[in-house]
Amino acid sequence: MNSFSSSHFTTPSHAYQMVKGRRADAINYLITQGVNPASAGAQLCAQGTIVTQYLANISWPNGQTVVPGCPTIHVQESSDGKSLLAQLTTAPIKHYIETLEFEGLPVVGEVQAKNPFALIEDATREAVIDAMTEAQTVTLLTTEGSMVLPLMRKSASTLVKLVDGEGLDHARRGEGRISIGTEKRFSIHAQTQDGPFKTHARHLRTDDAGTGLQNRTGFSYTPPSLPRVAPGSFDPSHASLRACIVRGMELVNETIKQVRTKAVRPKLRLTKEANDCLQHMAIQSRQAAQSYPPFLRTYLSRHAERALREAGSHHLFEYGIQGEITLATMQMADRFSADSFNAFCVLTDEQPKLTKQEDNALTLESLIYAQAIYFGPRLSVTKLRSLTVNIGLTKGQFNAALPLLCIQGKVYVERDWLYYVPLMANGWPRLSS
């Protein structure tokens, strides 16, 4: 079981490398080309979810099911090659889907031949609802994800049902209402920059809507670093990348076949060892969650669900609907979800705001420092009090801020004398008798 620490950010690796397969080969190649593992993993995750989310349901030990694949949000700097990686992973799948020919195909039952996929970039509720009415599997996919976070906040009650595969009985569309069936699938995969993300991060700390859409989302983060690869240095035809693209196309065809034949969606199960691992991680993650703030507690409480979703998507991508999810795949997904929690902690970290007294203490210290530089570390309290008007502090604010500096060990006051400790060569002053 993962310890839910931030140590993974110091290790140049990704969960997909834990199991052999197409994704492991692709991410290993990208890492050798200087790509950050988190960036590569985010694109490969999006690629996998697009083509697997319709194919099967993933079974909990109690028989309940979840949809394969997690929504993802990846945060990195603007110059770190988001678009370039997308061109190597998700863009070929999108192009393949958009260029498929459906004209002239026979009608099966009452279903007219049409593309069951919709990949959209318009991050609005209206665009999502429109796409869900027309297609069977919809993905909001964008490398400019600054608009996705407001959408997740304002339309969480709608999106969380679509992400969970629950459908909508009465969704507003224009001036009327429509229904969206439970057979349809929806996911979000967005990349954004650190600045726009921080603007909306405070909303992720509160979960205002109470639906926890962000708790179902996998987050990843690429810290700022010196570029280690030149644009255009990748080989788009490299065997590992090509293998993932070809596999994605095969799964697109399999999805179309399921939609056209109205095939019953299979239920993908876990081996006994994987089931035991899943139950163990669910218990441990909920126990670990008790030591975190409320918004992190609720996010960590869904650790096992995110892991199960990702395990299902990974199995479908590598092996199809045959067989059962193995222990190795579940352990990989455990790491994936733990890395997501670590990224979520980093991305939502917020320095505590200073109280008014603490802010005044910093202002007062700047005055004390300036005086101590010119006149030495031993200063008159009376003189300092008379100078506070120059820095915008009242006498009352001065009287409140000075004891705080004493508590912090920055100054020591004896009678009318103040000693500024950081500039004293011999440390604390000798106390007078």
**One-letter-per-residue 3-state SS of 32-89:** HCCCCHHHHHHHHHHHHHHHHCCCCEEECCCCCEECCCCCEEEECCCCCCHHHHHHHC
Q: What pLDDT is recorded for position 431?
A: 46
Q: Which of 318, 348, 378 is the last residue of a domain?
A: 348
Residue 142 included in any domain: yes
Q: What pLDDT is recorded for position 304?
A: 95
DSSP, res 187: E
Q: Which of 289, 314, 348 is the last residue of a domain?
A: 348
Q: What pLDDT is recorded for position 101?
A: 67
378/197: higher pLDDT: 378
Q: What pLDDT is recorded for position 279?
A: 94
Q: What pLDDT is recorded for position 275?
A: 95
Range among 79-88, 138-147, 204-213 rated most confident: 138-147
Whether 342 has a pLDDT exceeding 60, the answer reads: yes
Residue 430 included in any domain: no
Residue 338 included in any domain: yes
Whether 316 has a pLDDT exceeding 90, the answer reads: yes
Q: What pLDDT is recorded for position 433?
A: 39
Please give the Cα distance from 36 to 11 (Å, whole number). Answer: 10
Residue 279 included in any domain: yes
Q: Is 70 exposed, middle or buried (0-12, 13-18, 19+ CB in 10 A)?
A: buried
Count Cβ neighbours within 10 Å for each residue of 206-216 and write b for 16 or more, e otherwise. ebebebbbbbb
DSSP, res 286: H
39-43, 77-81, 282-286: segment of lowest average pLDDT: 77-81
pLDDT digits (tens, 9 = 90+) for 35-50: 888 989 999 999 999 9
Classify 179 as helix, strand or coil: strand
Please give the Cα distance from 268 to 56 (Å, whole number). Answer: 6
Q: What pLDDT is recorded for position 13?
A: 72
Total structural domains in the chain? 2
Residue 180 included in any domain: yes
428/100: higher pLDDT: 100
Q: 374 with 230, same domain?
A: no
Task: Return the CATH number at 404.
Answer: 1.10.10
Q: 336 with 386, same domain?
A: no
Question: How would residue 34 be classed by pLDDT, with cut points 50, 70 and 90?
Answer: confident
Round the average pLDDT of the chain to a whole number and report it.
Answer: 85
Distances (CA, A) of 102 to 64, 248, 249: 35, 19, 16
Q: What pLDDT is recorded for position 202?
A: 73
Task: Return the CATH number at 291.
Answer: 3.40.50
Radius of gyration of the chain (CA): 28
Q: 124 with 65, same domain?
A: yes
Whether 294 has a pLDDT exceeding 90, the answer reads: no
Question: How would residue 104 be classed by pLDDT, with cut points 50, 70 and 90?
Answer: very low
Please give the Cα distance from 126 to 396 (Å, whole number). Answer: 55
* 11 Cβ contact list (under 8 Å, min separation 6): none
- Please answer whether residues 159 and 185 qualify as being in contact, where contact means their C-beta atoms are separated by less than 8 angstroms: no
CA neighbours closer than 13 Å in the CB half-sphere of residue 399 = 3
Q: What pLDDT is recorded for position 206?
A: 67
Q: 129 with 271, same domain?
A: yes
Q: What pLDDT is recorded for position 92?
A: 92
Question: How would residue 169 be classed by pLDDT, with cut points 50, 70 and 90?
Answer: confident
Q: 282 with 370, same domain?
A: no
How many other C-beta atoms lie within 10 A of the C-beta of residue 405? Answer: 21
Please give the Cα distance from 61 to 55 (Å, whole number). Answer: 20
Q: 94 with 237, same domain?
A: yes
Q: 157 with 90, same domain?
A: yes
Please give the Cα distance from 54 to 183 (Å, whole number). Answer: 8
Q: 306 with 182, same domain?
A: yes
* 40 Cβ contact list (under 8 Å, min separation 6): 14, 26, 27, 30, 31, 85
pLDDT digits (tens, 9 = 90+) for 52-65: 999 999 999 888 99
Q: Which of 348, 366, 397 is the last residue of a domain?
A: 348
Question: How would residue 2 be classed by pLDDT, with cut points 50, 70 and 90?
Answer: low
pLDDT digits (tens, 9 = 90+) for 174-214: 556 777 888 899 999 998 888 888 877 777 776 554 457 88
Q: 360 with 243, same domain?
A: no
Output the CA angle 339-345-346, nearest 5 degrees: 90
Sequence-separated contacts (24+) of 77-81 with Cβ below 8 Å: 77/193, 77/194, 77/222, 77/224, 78/193, 79/227, 80/36, 80/39, 80/222, 80/227, 81/35, 81/39, 81/229, 81/231
Q: 235 with 293, same domain?
A: yes
Whether 345 has a pLDDT exceeding 60, the answer reads: yes
Residue 431 included in any domain: no
The maximal CA–CA distance of the chain, rounded, in angstroms, is 103
Q: What pLDDT is recorded for position 348?
A: 85
Domain that holds residue 390: 356-423
Whether 312 has a pLDDT exceeding 80, the answer reads: yes
Residue 428 included in any domain: no
170/137: higher pLDDT: 137
The amino acid occupying position 384 is: L
Find the mean pLDDT for residues 360-388: 93
Q: 111 with 255, same domain?
A: yes
* 89 Cβ contact list (under 8 Å, min separation 6): 26, 43, 44, 46, 47, 241, 244, 245
Q: 133 with 242, same domain?
A: yes
Find the mean pLDDT for residues 234-256: 91
The amino acid occupying position 405 is: L
User: Among 225, 239, 223, which residue's Cα sits nearest to residue 88?
Assistant: 239
Residue 432 included in any domain: no
